[in-house]
């Protein structure tokens, strides 16, 4: 895939990075510029506050402490401007040496905005053990340019706080619609790779590689379009609570929501949601997608392969009409080994009708049998091989 070339790394544990030369302060309260001629060390939580702007030059490397809980927190009103490029991406990675890095070595990047959320409360508190005075997000600034980030790699981040909460590699809270989030690769996160809590903004060219928990998580009324996304999973890498390529919640059940129009609503074009399972280990997989609390999800021109099911719906969807009104898969192919659609209600109408006009494989296939070069360690490719084993769902 052309958009992945040059700036990605699918084997980051073998990448030699320079030793840190300068430690970042834990409070950044004035406009600050990080230059690529210095390798930075981030230890403990670093807060960008007081409406300050943190600008990071292309090619800059930030090594993150693995002994102290370490995250970069862009507080409400502050901004992160981090624009790498194809030849010189910005890298946030573990401070450990090659071959010794692990998922969850450090926390992650948190960006808090003043955009909308669909909770009755106008603002909420970000997840994690952060200083309360720097933890609010949400508001009415829907047009805000909360952040501009592109060509960034985030490696070995994510941390579990408890069974239900954790630090994601990249947490995007209530970003305004003029924010830029493009060309981001997240590798070996111990929690979710990407999670969007409300906000209304678009993203493109995203990669989640071997996350332990969900690859893409949407909640609190997030609304946006995603173009060119990839989730590469492994059947032996999963969280005990259940992990999905996409998990989407229409709203937070404990809070309720403002209106039916405020439910999470996501459209995705050109997704590769791949679990590298084989005939020997596919039994360890779950559904590719978990849809809860009346979330709306449209996926087109995509590939879903290696999972048990295409999509799993919770009890909020009470009829085939509910499924049809809240979910669309179109012009795509799926390769799963069990029931295609899992639902929680009884009906004489087959839920398989939800997937009509998509291609599917007549029998479960290994990734290397279905795609051109899925196991390539430098630039995996998920273009379909020519085959007569595809059938169109009627």
Torsion of CA 73, 168, 209, 385, to 10 degrees: -110
Pairing of strands 216-219, 39-42: unpaired
Count Cβ atoms within 10 A of the Cβ of residue 98 and give its class: 0-12 exposed, 13-18 middle, 19 or more buried.
exposed
Average pLDDT over the chain, rounded to whole? 94
Residue by residue, DSSP assigns 19-65 as PP-EEPPSEE-S-EEE-TTSEEEE-S-EEE-TT-EEEE-TT-EEEE-
User: Long-range contacts for 164-167 (Cβ within 8 Å, ≥24 apart)?
Assistant: 164/241, 165/127, 165/128, 166/127, 166/190, 166/191, 166/192, 166/213, 167/71, 167/107, 167/108, 167/110, 167/127, 167/128, 167/191
Q: Quote the pLDDT of residue 147.
A: 98
Residue by residue, DSSP assigns 53-87 as EEEE-TT-EEEE-SSS--EEEE-TT-EEEEE--SS
- Report the chain's terminal Cα–Cα distance, integer Å: 30
Residue 42 in tokens: 């981030």
Mean predicted confidence (pLDDT) in 57-64:
98
Res. 283: pLDDT tops 70: yes
Q: Are 218 and 249 in contact (CB under 8 A)?
A: yes
- Per-residue pLDDT tens for 232-252? 999 888 877 789 999 999 999
Band the pLDDT of 164: cuts 50, 70, 90. Answer: low
Across 186-195, 326-335, 368-377, least confident range:
368-377
Residue 283's φ and ψ, nearest 5 degrees, are -65, -10
Pairing of strands 46-48, 71-74: parallel
Q: Quote the pLDDT of residue 260.
A: 86
- Per-residue pLDDT tens for 90-149? 999 999 999 999 999 999 999 999 999 999 988 999 999 899 999 999 999 999 999 999
Where are the chain's structural domains?
A: 22-213, 236-244+257-394
Decide: helix, strand or coil at residue 312: strand
Strand partners, 183: none
- Per-residue pLDDT tens for 319-348? 999 999 999 999 999 999 999 999 999 887
Res. 393: pLDDT tops 70: no
What sign does the dihedral 325-330-332-334 (CA atoms) show? positive
Q: Are 84 and 101 in contact (CB under 8 A)?
A: no
Q: How many CA atoms lie within 13 A of 337 on its CB side?
A: 19
Residue 206's φ and ψ, nearest 5 degrees, are -115, 140
Its pTM stands at 0.96
- Per-residue pLDDT tens for 289-318? 999 999 999 999 999 999 999 999 999 999
């Amino acid at each position: 895939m052309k958009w992945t070339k040059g700036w990605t790394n699918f084997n980051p544990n073998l990448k030699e990075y320079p030793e840190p030369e300068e430690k970042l302060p834990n409070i950044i309260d004035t406009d600050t510029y990080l230059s690529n001629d210095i390798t930075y060390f981030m230890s403990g939580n670093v807060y960008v506050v007081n409406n300050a702007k943190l600008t990071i030059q292309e090619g800059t490397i930030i090594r993150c402490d693995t002994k102290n809980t370490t995250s970069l927190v862009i507080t409400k009103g502050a901004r992160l401007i981090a624009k790498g490029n194809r030849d010189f991406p910005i890298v946030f990675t573990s401070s450990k040496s090659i071959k010794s890095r692990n998922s969850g070595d450090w926390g992650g990047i948190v960006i808090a905005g003043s955009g909308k959320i669909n909770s009755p409360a106008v603002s909420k508190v970000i997840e994690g053990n952060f200083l309360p005075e720097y933890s609010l997000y949400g508001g009415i600034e829907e047009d805000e340019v909360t952040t501009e980030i592109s060509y960034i790699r985030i490696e070995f981040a994510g941390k579990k706080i408890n069974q239900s909460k954790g630090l994601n590699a990249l947490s995007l809270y209530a970003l305004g619609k003029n924010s830029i989030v493009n060309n981001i690769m997240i590798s070996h996160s111990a929690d979710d790779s990407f999670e969007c809590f409300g906000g209304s903004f678009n993203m493109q060219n995203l990669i989640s590689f071997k996350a332990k928990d969900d690859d893409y998580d949407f909640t609190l009324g997030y609304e946006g379009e995603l173009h060119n996304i990839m989730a590469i999973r492994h059947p032996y890498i999963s969280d005990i609570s259940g992990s999905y390529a996409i998990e989407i919640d229409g709203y937070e059940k404990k809070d309720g929501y403002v209106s039916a129009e405020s439910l999470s609503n996501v459209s995705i074009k050109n997704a590769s949601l791949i679990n590298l399972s084989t005939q020997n280990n596919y039994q360890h997989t779950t559904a590719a997608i978990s849809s809860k609390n009346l979330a709306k999800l449209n996926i087109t021109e995509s590939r879903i392969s290696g999972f048990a099911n295409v999509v799993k719906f919770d009890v909020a969807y009470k009829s085939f009409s509910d499924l049809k009104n809240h979910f669309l898969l179109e012009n795509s192919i799926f390769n799963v080994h069990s029931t295609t659609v899992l639902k929680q209600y009884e009906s004489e109408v087959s839920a398989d009708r939800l997937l009509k006009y998509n291609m599917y494989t007549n029998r479960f296939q290994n990734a290397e049998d279905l795609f051109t070069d899925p196991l390539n360690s430098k630039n995996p490719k998920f273009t379909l091989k020519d085959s007569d084993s595809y059938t169109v769902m009627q």
